[in-house]
Amino acid sequence: MLSALVLPAISIKAQIPDFSIYPPYHGNDLGLTYSPGESVLKIWSPPADSAQVFLYAEGMGGSAEEILNMQKRDDGTWAIRLKGDRKGKFYCFRVRVNGQWSQAVPDPYAIATGVNGRRAMIIDLRETDPAGWKNDVAPIFKNKTDAVIYELHVRDASISPTSGIRNKGKYLGLTETGTKNSAGLSTGLDHIRELGATHVHLLPVFDFLSVDETRPDKPQYNWGYEPMNFNVPEGSYSTNPYDGRVRIKEFKEMVMAFHKNGLRVVMDVVYNHTMLTEDSYFNQLVPGYYYRQTSDGKFSNATACGNEMASERAMMRKFMLESMLYWVKEYHIDGFRVDLMGVHDIETMNIISKELHAIKPDILIYGEGWTAGSSPLPDSLRALKINAGKLDRIAVFSDDMRDGIKGSVFVHEEPGFVNGRKGMEESVKFGVVASCPHPGIDYTKVNYSKAPYATHPFQTVNYAECHDNHVLWDKIQVSAKDVNEEARREMYKLALSIVLTSQGISFIHAGGEFVRTKKGNENSYNAGDSINAIDWDQKTKNYEVYDYIRSLIKMRREQPLFRMQTGEEIRKNISFLDGLAPGVIAFVAGGRKEQGKWSSTLVVFNANSETIDIPLPGGSWYTFVTGNKISEKKKLSGKVRVGKYGCSVLYR
């Protein structure tokens, strides 16, 4: 954390009050309401006996031009009308609670800030709309299991010299087309479109703490899971972080470019904690309210970040809902990945889902169904993986599948199915049917879940890697030291084959399609560009892998057999072959009678170091994948031979 960004050490340590006496506010005008004739500023702070707004000419530095008293309004709110056109001015609030003034901070509803997010900015949002923004529409997206998600960090995408992108590390870098690597292969936006993904999942792009926006020349890096201003785009990804309008316009230009290229946009949102605790903007204005406390009155910490948000309290629930609605309406966002979703209560998540689906029926919502520590809110009330069936149109990540494929992310040298560990077959099969009930699975042998937690496949996100922990290649390097690199590459391809031939929602980490490495770094959240930048020349080096993954994505998107919609459909139409050797999984998916589509498919995973023969059920089949390679259409009957560490896909 940069000392230059740390707020003055003024904290409010009042005794924890009875928050239930605070009246919730039901209006929708918290924060800034702008017009050329006046700007209205409104905050919620029931315990305050005074509130003030500070007005500044600049986003940092200099003294306040005016300090104005706010008027107390209904339901714990404070408001002020600023006459005239105040566009371009910056502002902060402070409140007096128990005789002590808080720091002067932006309110949680700030929609624009100056550099480093320390002062909010008065703007006319319509001036931030790029040309054609009113006509921007997302690509058609029908069913949630049609999604192939591509997880991407804005800076990683373009910062490497191999990207061929001019606006390196910026939102605008992802609007550029015609960009090439050293060998002339497509990079950036063109590459993602060419790959066939449906959604680009952006690691946090709201305003976060640790990157000093005043020092773009200084080497600094962070994934962004450090929330400061939840409704403001991160300034370091803009070409001018000092003017709050620039980052908004450039963010919108990025979204519009994705949409024009057939890609939808998912935001990674972090409502489970704030980077600052006592000094956070929430806590300065309403001490303690927005956070859960332990029985002794301290901040609880299920996030391992020093605090956890109390989503079940009315105004935190309201904030989460209104924040996500704002991103959808103002920025045309198509989905949300909810960080540590297991911290949040089920009721809040379902209210959010209902409201979001009402305005965007094809929105995608998914999250981590776990926490990083214990919470005072009971497990039965939280959006944990085990409670997935209680969630309304919300998916959870399958760590069962992830670690079943490659081994525990917490035990670095432990292998999984693809890298030689026997006994992981049921965990992988659990992922194949997207965590839904299925008679062909022995749940006593599934690694983490001894019962299905999904009712339908759209409730499960299957993946082999993400930004957290070792990337897939590095994990295989660490856990399969006794085999050569050629064998590891086959293991790698087998792992991604499993993800892309399983039911549920498919998820790929950016660069994984051409064997991305982070040079063995297991937690690269602040490791810098030398570790995190996507090396686009890897696409040339590993083009065969890339082309294979692209072909699997195309197959998945074209063949409904891999995208079943209900748990009943999965149980009826997927059957696992019995009597197979350890390290081998095979299943038939059928039941389709759609013109021009496969009526059934046979998928075989062989995680052994020897070639195997599998008897073909029920007559002849045609080959599509043979031993991790797209094969020419060839008619087979009797048996199919599957290479070591290989996947084969046949159809009829």
3-state secondary structure 456-511: CHHHEEECCCCCCCCCHHHHHHHHCCCCCHHHHHHHHHHHHHHHHHCCCEEEEECC
Which residue has 């391992």 as its token pair? Answer: 304
Our measurement of the distance from residue 608's CA atom to the centroid of its chain's CA atoms, rounded to an integer in Å, reads 33
The structure tokens listed for 260 are: 């024009």
Q: Has 379 been annotated as catalytic?
A: no
Give the gyration radius of the chain's Cα atoms. 26
The whole-angstrom separation of Cα 462 and Cα 376 is 29
CA within 13 Å, CB half, 14: 21
Q: What is the DSSP string of 503-570?
A: SSEEEEETTGGGT---TT-S--TTS-HHHHS--THHHHHTHHHHHHHHHHHHHHHH-GGGS--SHHHH
Q: How far apart are the two ends of the chain, measured CA to CA in Å?
A: 57
Inter-axis angle of helices 188-195 and 543-558, to 10 degrees?
50
By CB atoms closer than 10 A (0-12, 13-18, 19+), residue 259 is middle
Phi-psi region at 98: left, alpha or beta (left = phi > 0; alpha = psi -120 to 50): left
Instruction: Identify whether the C-beta of residue 643 lies closer than 8 Å to the C-beta of residue 627.
Output: yes
The encoded tokens of residue 27 equal: 């209006």
* 68 Ramachandran zone, left/alpha/beta (phi>0; psi -120 to 50): beta
| 436 close to 455: Cβ distance less than 8 angstroms | yes
146, 176, 339, 465: the catalytic one is 339
Count, residues in the chain: 652
d(CA 535, CA 519): 12
Active site residue 578: no
With tokens 């105040």, the residue in question is 86
227 touches 531 (CB < 8 A)? no
| Distance in angstroms (rounded) separating the CA atoms of residues 598 and 590 | 8
Looking at residue 69, its amino acid is N
CA–CA separation, 579 vs 226, rounded Å? 50
CA distance 41 to 91: 10
Pairing of strands 227-233, 612-615: unpaired
Structure tokens at 334: 């198509």
Which residue in 107, 234, 368, 426 is the catalytic one? Answer: 368
Query: What is the C-alpha to C-alpha distance for residues 626 and 613, in angstroms, rounded to an integer?
Result: 12
304: tokens are: 């391992």
For residue 498, the Cα-to-chain-centroid distance in whole angstroms is: 21
Nearest to 316 by CA among 286, 361, 296: 286
167, two tokens: 């606006």
Under 8 Å between Cβ of 90 and 55:
yes
Query: Would you tell me the crossing angle of helices 485-501 and 472-479 to the nearest 10 degrees?
Result: 130
Question: How far apart are alpha carbons 112 and 247 in whole angstroms?
Answer: 9
Q: Which residue numbers are catalytic?
A: 339, 368
